[in-house]
């Protein structure tokens, strides 16, 4: 029986590179997997957290709890293939501590199975723990399923516009 487990990533697990190569292009075709060094630097930053959702085989005791509920990571499940990722970043501003969810993607083959919901719940939990007053994210209007998920998780659309200035790398 398959359950989902959500882990906060520490270090650079071997399967993370493969997961980024498979998942990030599903978020946007222009995205490529980041270099290992960049991910290590990101994970070492004290105000950044990367969460992964994995398929997991549940032992008999865990199966009694119910097959449809995603679980948080513990030692009672064998961690399997990464099916989703989410990055949480936070910072302090004069108006309070803010947190942003970035780069959420669930493998197309695993969508609708609770991975996105479990990832967002993990991010919400950490945002509460670190004292964020607001948790924000952006979502393309064409991503109707993702936007429905965010509403289900308690997010409301803000009446604001995000402006972007792409910085030259030269």
Amino acid 30: pLDDT: 87
Amino acid 2: pLDDT: 66
Amino acid 1: pLDDT: 41
For residue 134, give both structure tokens: 């607001």
Amino acid 34: pLDDT: 79
- Report pTM: 0.84
Separation CA 115–CA 84 (nearest Å) = 7
Amino acid 68: pLDDT: 39
Separation CA 110–CA 115 (nearest Å) = 7
Question: Which DSSP string do the residues of 56-90 spell out, in sequence order?
Answer: EEPPHHHHTT-SS--EE--TTSEEEEEEEEEEEEE
Amino acid 69: pLDDT: 41
Residue 93: Cβ-neighbour burial (10 angstroms; 0-12, 13-18, 19+):
exposed
Amino acid 64: pLDDT: 46
Residue-by-residue pLDDT tens, the chain, 170 positions: 467 899 999 888 888 989 999 999 998 888 887 778 888 899 999 999 999 999 887 655 444 444 334 444 444 445 689 999 999 999 999 999 999 999 999 999 999 999 999 999 999 999 999 999 999 999 999 999 999 999 999 999 999 998 999 897 75
Considering the four listed CATH numbers 3.40.630.30, 3.40.50.720, 3.90.1150.10, 3.40.190.10, the one that applies to the domain covering 2-152 is: 3.40.630.30
């Amino acid at each position: 029986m398959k359950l989902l487990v959500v882990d906060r990533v520490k270090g650079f697990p071997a399967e993370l590179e493969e997961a980024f190569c498979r998942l990030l292009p599903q978020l946007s075709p222009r995205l490529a997997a980041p270099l290992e060094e960049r991910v290590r630097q990101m994970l070492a930053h004290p105000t950044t957290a990367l969460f992964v959702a994995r398929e997991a085989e549940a032992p008999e005791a865990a199966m009694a709890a119910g097959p449809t509920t995603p679980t948080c990571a513990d030692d009672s499940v064998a961690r399997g293939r990464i099916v989703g990722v989410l990055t949480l970043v936070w910072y302090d501003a004069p108006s309070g501590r803010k947190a942003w969810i970035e780069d959420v993607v669930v493998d197309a083959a695993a969508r609708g199975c609770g991975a996105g919901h479990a990832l967002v719940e993990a991010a919400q939990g950490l945002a509460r723990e670190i004292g964020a007053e607001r948790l924000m994210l952006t979502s393309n209007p064409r991503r109707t399923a993702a936007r429905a998920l965010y509403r289900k998780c308690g997010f409301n659309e803000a009446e604001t516009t995000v402006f972007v200035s792409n910085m030259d790398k030269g």
